[in-house]
Amino acid sequence: MPDAIIIAGANGAGKTTFARHFVPMAFPNAVFLNADEIQAESATTASPLAAGRELIRRLEETVAAHRDFIVETTLSSNQYTKRIPAWQVEGYTVTLIFLEVPRA
């Protein structure tokens, strides 16, 4: 069964840092999907909106190939949560990891 890992938390919670250390050990073949990195990749995805669209395109491609993936999100919308039932139908095991930051 493929794995879908959602790493969620507020901006600055350490999602990317956590994913960079967690992903290689636990899911060495997983595709890591991060809108910030996509935005930094090229001029065609220079805007956050364009990067978000490209992330969804890559996500759909990854799911169609039944590959493990990890997606980073603030969960500020239902962009990913609305897709969970479809991922489960495709045989995915879905795991949510929520990073909480203590108050300063």
Task: Write the CATH number for 35.
Answer: 3.40.50.300
In a domain, 32, yes or no: yes
- Other residues' Cβ atoms within 10 Å of the Cβ of residue 14: 14
At 96 the pLDDT is 94
In a domain, 60, yes or no: yes
- Predicted confidence (pLDDT) per residue in 59-83, tens digit: 999 999 999 999 999 998 898 999 9
Chain mean pLDDT for the chain:
90
Strand partners, 98: 8
- Predicted confidence (pLDDT) per residue in 30-42, tens digit: 999 988 888 888 7
In a domain, 104, yes or no: no
Rounded to two decimals, what is the model's pTM?
Answer: 0.88
Report residue 19: phi and psi, to 5°.
Answer: -60, -40
In a domain, 92, yes or no: yes
Identify the DSSP state of 92. Answer: -
In a domain, 44, yes or no: yes
Number of folded domains that form the chain: 1
Buried b (16+ CB within 10 A) or exposed e, 88-104: eeeebebeeeebeeeee
Residue 77 to residue 29: CA distance in whole angstroms: 27
Q: What is the mean pLDDT of residues 84-94?
A: 97
Range of the domain at 63: 3-99
In a domain, 55, yes or no: yes
In a domain, 24, yes or no: yes
